[in-house]
Structures are given as structure tokens and as C-alpha cells.
């Protein structure tokens, strides 16, 4: 095989650290699901920017265990906040969580 020589001079740019990439990856994985994207969209669009499980279950035409499973993943990833009031759990978007992820995409450094 012929040695093609260097393709370019390495830029020397530091890569995003492994630790930061892994933490961000967990949050992006939480959002990277069609049902979870729709849940976040519904909560964002709801009056008061919060919604209860029953509301979300009805709007998405999914079973409550399925919706609760997806909501838990979003809560564990720090994207949604869960608050129990009476018999119902209400979900809202953690302030700044989505903006922080968006910032990674607009300036992925």
C-alpha cells in the first residue's frame, strides 16, 4: 500500500472531555425517543408549563405505565421535575435544562 502522507496538520483542538461527553450523552439519549420528545413538547405547550400523567396519557393515546416509564427517564436525566400534589404527579420542565442542551448544539465545544 502506498503511504498517502498526512492528510492535514492536526488542529490540536482539545476534544470535549470524555466525562462531559458521557454526561451530555445521557441527557440526549433521554430526549432521543419519539414518545419522550412528544411528552416534552406537550408539557412545554401546556398551560402553566406543567401537566399531570392523566393528561399526558390521554393526549398521547398511550397506557399510563408506558407514559410513567418515559417520564421517569426524563426526570432521572434532569430534564423534567416531578411534584406530587394530592393523588396526582405533575411534571414540568427543569428551568434551563433544555436551553443548556441546546447550547451544546449551537456551540459544541
Positions that interact with a copy of itself (CB under 8 A):
4, 6-8, 10-11, 13-16, 18, 21-22, 24-25, 28-29, 31-35, 37-38, 40-42, 44-47, 51-55, 58-60, 86-88, 90, 98-99, 101-109
- For residue 24, CA distances in Å to 18, 85, 92 come to 10, 31, 20
Count the residues in the chain: 109
Q: Which run of H or E residues covers position 82? A: strand 80-85
Q: How far is the CB of 73 from a copy of itself (least distance, A)?
A: 12
Residue number, 21 or 76, with CB nearest to a copy of itself: 21
Q: How far is the CB of 19 from a copy of itself (least distance, A)?
A: 9
d(CA 50, CA 23): 26
d(CA 80, CA 91): 6
Q: How far is the CB of 34 from a copy of itself (least distance, A)?
A: 4
Amino acid at each position: 500500500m502506498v503511504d498517502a502522507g498526512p492528510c492535514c496538520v492536526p488542529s490540536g483542538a482539545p476534544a470535549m472531555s470524555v466525562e462531559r461527553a458521557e454526561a451530555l450523552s445521557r441527557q440526549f439519549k433521554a430526549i432521543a425517543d419519539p414518545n419522550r420528545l412528544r411528552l416534552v413538547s406537550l408539557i412545554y405547550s401546556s398551560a402553566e408549563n406543567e401537566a399531570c400523567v392523566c393528561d399526558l396519557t390521554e393526549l398521547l393515546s398511550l397506557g399510563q405505565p408506558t407514559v410513567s416509564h418515559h417520564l421517569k427517564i426524563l426526570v432521572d436525566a434532569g430534564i423534567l421535575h416531578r411534584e406530587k400534589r394530592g393523588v396526582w404527579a405533575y411534571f414540568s420542565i427543569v428551568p434551563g435544562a433544555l436551553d443548556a442542551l441546546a447550547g451544546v448544539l449551537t456551540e459544541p465545544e
